Amino acid sequence: MITKADELVYAPLGGVGEIGMNLSVYGYGSGRKKAWIAVDLGVSFGGGEDLPGVDLVMPDIRFLLEERKSLHGLILTHGHEDHFGAIIDLWPRLKVPIFATPFTAALFEAKRQAEPGAPEIPVNVVPLGGTIKLGPFTVELCSMSHSIPESNALIIGTPLGKVLHTGDWKLDPTPVVGPATDEARLRRLGEEGCLALVGDSTNAVRDGRSPSESEVGATLAKLIAAAPQRVAITTFASHVARIRSIALAARDCGREVVLVGRAMERVVQVARETGHLDGVPEFRSASNYGYFPRDKVVALCTGSQGEPRAALARIASDSHPEIGLAKGDQVIFSSRTIPGNEKAVNKIINGLVAQGVEVITERDHLVHVSGHPRRDELKELLGWVKPSIMIPVHGEPLHLAAHAKLARSLGVPEVVGCRNGDLVRLAPGPAGIVDEVPQGRLYKDGYLIVEAEARTVADRRRLGFVGVVSVALALDETGTLCSDPEVELIGIPENDGRGKSFAAQAVQTALETVEHLPRARRRDPDTVAEAVRRAVRGGIAASWGKKPLCLVHVLTV
């Protein structure tokens, strides 16, 4: 039953205006009394120079915690880290029922078990094409092809209409693993009536269609067949279709496949258990590598993004205990370099080339293809589904704008651009942003999770540009210095431009500052500390041109 006040709303809490850390919520009901479901809970990988020491970035889940009592479930579209990578860290605060298809659930469990100290986290397994009833929502899974098995769009049924949440997808009639995008179901949704489409914008600036996964497989098969010696191939660990293509190509040339890297071993085991590698010969372990003739082996490695501890980096620096390459061998990057990783990947490529290894990347041959839809695919989906509203998500502002423009040009009646934290009303009435909900970012910092607004990481970033000067003073009860100040510099040049020691200057400045303070004020340690801090910092800044951080400790004895 629909009451007059009932409305259907959508809010992204991550993944809009950025690639990564996807988290969306849908709400149904009136005013503050809404039932909610959440879709995906992903991470972005560390910020590198921008966020020193941060391994993972996650969406802030304050809103989910506030609405915890009316949050009916968390549905995972697929097993990529930008969709499920934050669960192990954040679920213990939420304890909401999780729903996922068999491969995603098994991959999550394998990952959880590999993480020391990870809590038990139950996942409800839903079959492909299955339906989940959650309060006023009926969520139906719709198979989509992508670069990992079992990617799903969600058809979210509510009393006010159906929403298609596309998840990550592409159109690929020959996806190598798993079913192709379920065109029949999507066309039927168009006939039933689709209120809103919330869709993947990653490749909305790219014209045409993405090539099929099976074309990549064919290219890899040709390259392996023509290779005179050893071939090592690196790809994303979770790319089961690629792993399958490589395995079958190797088999056809009479080569054994050696698996190198723990993340890939884990995915392969899960893929075998869930039937996605049926018919693929067993892989050999890395310890067998040296026993195969040079033209009878393919090494399948982790490390396509230049990760320094992954298999390929160690092979490139000739420090892998079991796998080595020599002049005339080939390395194929069956991957795309994610922006931000170029330096690390180039370092590996240079290491390999210096050893006389031939390196093949997507610039040379069709050895990789994206798992996201280009413009003609986006058009086709909009044509099938014919939504009244389109909301572009999963992209940076450039991608979102291109997707919005494309939808408008195709005559989608309402296109709503929103940002993380915007609450969008989908029905009743015209669609639009009606409110804001709390959103933000969390950082994984060592074992801890810290709020992005906390000063920790900002302080660390500052320390990357300036140093620290620390001054320790001891005063007696009359405010007289008991000894010379102790000064320590970290990350500050030793001498100024005239060759004068910064440490000696800081001692001098501290002494003079204390002496010039009236005796009454010298008895207050805080006053002394602040005066010394300003003077020392200013003194160093005057001849360095940069303001260091300055810490002053005043002990009273």
Interface with Zn ion (CB under 5 A): 80, 82, 168
* Residue placing its CB nearer to Zn ion in the complex, 150 or 168: 168
216: helix, coil or strand?
helix
Least distance CB 13 / Zn ion (angstroms): 15
In the complex, the smallest distance separating the C-beta of residue 152 from Zn ion, rounded to whole angstroms, is 11
Closest approach of Zn ion to the CB of residue 244, in Å: 18
For Zn ion, the closer of residues 29 and 149 by Cβ is 149
**What is the amino acid identity at position 548?**
P
For 451, phi and psi rounded to 5 degrees?
-75, 145
Question: What is the distance of C-alpha 21 from the center of its chain?
Answer: 6
Quote the least distance from Cβ 19 to Zn ion, whole Å: 7
**Closest CB to Zn ion among residues 216, 232:** 216
- CB-nearer residue toward Zn ion: 40 or 256: 40
Least distance (Å) from Zn ion to the CB of residue 355? 33
Q: In this structure, are residues 205 and 402 in contact, taking their beta carbons and an 8 Å threshold?
A: yes
CB of 78 to Zn ion, least distance (A): 6
CB of 145 to Zn ion, least distance (A): 11
Indicate the residue among 79 and 157 with the shorter CB distance to Zn ion.
79
CA-wise closest residue to 357 among 331, 396, 383, 319:
331
Comparing CB distances to Zn ion, the nearer of 82 and 140 is 82
* Residue type at position 16: V
Cα–Cα distance between 557 and 554 in angstroms, integer?
10
Q: Across the chain, how many H-helices and E-strands are there?
A: 16, 28
Q: Minimum distance from CB of 373 to Zn ion (Å)?
A: 12
Residue 169 or residue 502: which is nearer to Zn ion going by CB? 169
Contact status, residue 203 vs residue 372, Cβ threshold 8 Å: yes
CB closer to Zn ion out of 78 and 320: 78
Judged by DSSP in three states, 78 sits in: coil
Rank residues 201 and 245 by Cβ distance to Zn ion and give the closer one: 201
Task: Return the structure tokens found at 213.
Answer: 């996964």
Instruction: Please state whether beta strands 196-200 and 389-393 pair in parallel, antiparallel, or not at all (unpaired).
Output: parallel
Widest pairwise Cα distance in the chain: 90
Whichever of 136 and 175 has its CB closer to Zn ion, that residue is: 175
Nearest distance, CB of residue 22 and Zn ion, angstroms: 6
User: Phi and psi at residue 46, in whole multiples of 5°?
Assistant: -40, 155
Shortest Cβ 42–Zn ion spacing (Å): 7
CA torsion angle for 533, 539, 544, 545 (degrees, to 10)? 80
Q: Report angle CA 352, 357, 361 to the nearest 5 degrees.
A: 75
Q: Cβ of 160: how many Cβ atoms within 10 Å?
A: 16
For Zn ion, the closer of residues 82 and 150 by Cβ is: 82
Q: Is 366 helix (H, G, I), strand (E, B) or coil?
A: coil
Distances from the Cα of 395 to the Cα of 14, 54, 196, 203, angstroms = 10, 22, 18, 8
Minimum distance, C-beta of residue 24 to Zn ion, in the bound complex (Å): 12
Cα torsion angle, 244, 246, 250, 252, sign: positive
The angle at the Cα of 359, spanning 353 to 364, to the nearest 5 degrees, equals: 135
Q: Specify the length of the chain in residues.
A: 557
Please state the closest distance from residue 80 (CB atom) to Zn ion, in A. Answer: 4
Q: Which of 441, 382, 426 is closest to 201 using CA atoms?
A: 382
Q: Is residue 71 within 8 Å of residue 64, measured between CB atoms?
A: yes
Which residue, 22 or 505, has its beta carbon nearer to Zn ion? 22
Query: How many angstroms separate the CA atoms of 38 and 431, rounded?
Result: 20
